[in-house]
Structure 1
Amino acid sequence: MNAPLKAFGPIKAVIFDMDGLLLDTEGIYTEVTSIIAARYGRTFDWSIKQNIIGRGAGDLARYVVEALDLPITAEEFLVVREPLMRERFPTAQAMPGAQELVRHLKANNIPIAVGTSSSSQSFGQKTTLHRDWFALFDFIVTADDPEVGAAKPAPDIFLTAARRLGVAPEDCLVFEDSPFGVTAAKAAGMTAIAIPDAAMADAKYAHADGILRTLKAFEPGAFGLPALEWA
């Protein structure tokens, strides 16, 4: 981790991003965007992918259309993308350690929430295989929640989650896999731990309070949370 553990105060609630953090959906996004790009003779690669992880749908679409110089609007990109996503999202698998950590926190009565830039509709599709443990969360806050004014990197999603959990932002720990998500968490006044994609450089997470390469490296006891002995 890139910050001393002693710098962290006791945590009273935990908020999780979803895509690439709880569920392995980033490969689906890459596949679908690559399919659309290929239709126009373009190539979607890591040079672009690394800059869109964690963005809300509208912001992501605008960036991809401009970066690939696609002859369609951002709105048209999202329309074309939707059925391709809908077909693939129900196959999403859990990320290592995700279910175990969620169950551990719930069993120890720690308030937990999901704060995702996904819509409520795509949330339902992505969690198809995981209804049981996603039902353990106290709250799910999506980008189209009526109380959310703007998606990440704005802090709205995380502030809404904290408000519903009844916990002050400074007492919340956020897990994020994207630089934009870390920006949102820090803007909300929360502690942010980054769990980046293996291909993402640590330098992109300089604003995080710590960096781990897997949720299974997290030690809850260091944050005043009930200790967990990982399987």
Structure 2
Amino acid sequence: MSGKMKKALLFDFDGVIIDSERIRYATYEKLFQQEFGVQIPHFDPFIIGRKQEVNLQMLLEASGVEADISTLVSKRNLLLQETFRDYNNIMPVPGLLPFLSQAKEKGYGLGIASSSTAQYILPIVEYLRIRNKFDAIITSEDIPGDRGKPHPDVYLLASQRMGIPPEKCLVFEDSLHGIAAAKAAGMYCVAVATSFRKEELEGKADDVIDDFTNVTINSFFEFHNL
């Protein structure tokens, strides 16, 4: 990519790097059953992409119970650790690994911009042996509590740390909140239909794919003149 301004591919984590949204949601279900004996709705896709503090507050209000958010966060983090401890539940989204290799070979900047915690993300990228492919990893700890997705902050920070302007960044997202964050950051957004149906994502993102199988870098950057 010599002689041209470098471009970046930014990835949400859950539902884009690994296919994990329903597994992660199950930890909310288990937490509320254990703590309050309450059954929350089975897989509410509306919470995907947001910081867990926001989701927990919403679920508390919907369930009519009260609790300390920070305590619930700690307990849910333990459930997440238990769920992913043996890595049996970790499956990269189909086609992702060769796609990352292709992008790295072509000289694109690569970043992760997620609402999940570093404690959760970093061991998984190490397990998948893809940590060295990313120039920046932005997690929930990097963003103020009230500025998570759909606010653009996580993507703007990734752009800033990588030294690549937003208009030269392409985002892969699986959630409506994440798509809104990417678009608010002024970035081209490709939705990955792992958590929502394609028809629910069309018209929200600039493009929609099922997964990374048979997807090439040129199919986005050259076609859309990014």
Tell me which interval the TM-score lies in, with the shorter structure as reference length: 0.7 to 0.9
SS in 2 for 1:113: strand
Identity %: 28
Q: CA separation in 1, counterparts of 2:198 and 2:59?
A: 21
Equivalent positions of 1:39-50 (< 5 A) are 39=34, 40-46=36-42, 49-50=44-45
Q: In terms of mean alpha carbon deviation, does 91-100 or 188-197 score higher? A: 91-100
2:177 to 176, 180, 184: 180
Structure 1 residue runs without a partner (length 5+): 1-9, 227-231
1:53 to 32, 43, 48: 48
- Cross-structure match for 2:94: 96
Q: Number of residue pairs matched?
A: 215
Q: CA separation in 2, counterparts of 1:68 and 1:99?
A: 40
Q: Is 1:121 matched with 2:119?
A: yes
Q: Is 1:111 matched with 2:109?
A: yes
Using the TM superposition, give the Cα deviation of residue 190 of structure 1 relative to its aligned residue in structure 2, in angstroms.
Answer: 0.2
**CA 1:97–1:165: 2 relative to 1, 3 Å:** same
Using the TM superposition, give the Cα deviation of residue 129 of structure 1 relative to its aligned residue in structure 2, in angstroms.
Answer: 1.9
**CA 1:148–1:179: 2 relative to 1, 3 Å:** same
- Cross-structure match for 2:160: 163
Question: Does the 8 A contact of 1:158 with 1:184 survive in 2?
Answer: yes
Deviations 1:160-191 (A, max 9, x none): 11122222111110000111100000000000
**CA 1:221–1:58: 2 relative to 1, 3 Å:** same
Question: Does the 8 A contact of 1:86 with 1:125 survive in 2?
Answer: no
- Structure 1 moving runs of 4+ over 4 Å: 146-149
1:21 to 13, 16, 19: 16
- Cross-structure match for 2:78: 83
2:142 to 123, 132, 145: 145
Question: Does the 8 A contact of 1:65 with 1:77 survive in 2?
Answer: no
Root mean square deviation, CA, Å: 2.6
SS in 2 for 1:79: helix
TM-score for both structures, normalised by structure 2: 0.84
Structure 2 residue runs without a partner (length 5+): none
Q: In terms of mean alpha carbon deviation, does 197-206 or 76-85 score higher? A: 197-206
Q: Is 1:194 matched with 2:171?
A: no
SS in 2 for 1:94: coil
Q: CA separation in 2, counterparts of 1:148 and 1:138?
A: 24
1:208 to 200, 205, 210: 205
SS in 2 for 1:85: helix
Q: CA separation in 1, counterparts of 2:214 and 2:139?
A: 27
Q: CA separation in 2, counterparts of 1:128 and 1:65?
A: 34
2:153 maps to amino acid: D
